[in-house]
Chain A
Amino acid sequence: QLRLQESGPGLVKPPETLSLTCTVSGGSIRITSDYWGWIRQPPGKGLEWIGSFSSSGGTYYNPSLKSRVIISVDRANNQLSLKLSSVTAADTAVYYCARHPNGSGPPQGIYGLDVWGQGTTVTVSS
């Protein structure tokens, strides 16, 4: 059974860089037909897609965050990572990682985000 687990600091100071890791178990992050993404949810607000990575399809970022985000993969440890630079209080949120099966090529959004981690809360405060 595929499981995703987010980890990282719960408190980040502005304007430092937020760094999170998503560990994948019960499956491989190397599967070329899958995208692996980060999503966040500020307190009391809706969901926001941050970006996604695929071994075959490349990396895609939310245009509104693209200048501050890097998503990468550690294939040896089956982990997905997120780095968000120059954080402010507006980046305070629960951060989730999730899988979206896709097939080859760019994302198509056909199959949705079918497996999610439990989320990790990040607070940005000095």
Chain B
Amino acid sequence: SYELTQPPSVSVSPGQTASITCSGDKLGDKYACWYQQKPGQSPVLVIYQDSKRPSEIPERFSGSNSGSTATLTISGTQAMDEADYYCQAWDSNTHNYVFGTGTKVTVL
């Protein structure tokens, strides 16, 4: 089965840049998206089609996808960005919409 692996946790100081990786076999050949989930809330789409932002998502969120790794970058991280983040991609071989293992971002 297809798997997407993320680091369990990332820590960042306010105003600094946080980078979250998502690794999977030939992930660069698929479309990656990213979700933010705060405690007790539903996930929110922050990046789709590798690097596009929904209109309501701040510009400090950006994404890239190449080779076997997709990356979500949060520039000028704010306290409100503290949350769990999940990557996701559609695997056409297994017809499975796979989520990554999730990363907890802590703003220290």
Chain B CB within 8 A of A53 CB = no
Map CB proximity to A onto B1-20 as digits: 1 under 8 Å, 0 otherwise.
Answer: 10000000000000000000
State the A residues within 8 Å of B (CB).
Answer: 37, 46-49, 52, 60-64, 96, 100, 106-114, 116-119
Given contacts A47-B43, A47-B102, A64-B1, contact A110 B95 (CB under 8 A): no
For chain B, which range describes its interface: under 10, 10 to 19, 20 to 34, or 35 or more residues? 20 to 34
A-B contact count (CB 8 A): 75
Given contacts A37-B97, A49-B99, contact A113 B49 (CB under 8 A): no
Main SS at interface, chain A: loop
Instruction: Give complex CA distance A47, B92 in Å.
Output: 19
Given contacts A47-B102, A109-B90, A110-B48, contact A52 B43 (CB under 8 A): no
Question: Is the pair A112, B45 in contact by a Cβ cutoff of 8 Å?
Answer: yes
Using Cβ atoms and an 8 Å threshold, which residues of chain B touch A109? 30-31, 33, 88-90, 97
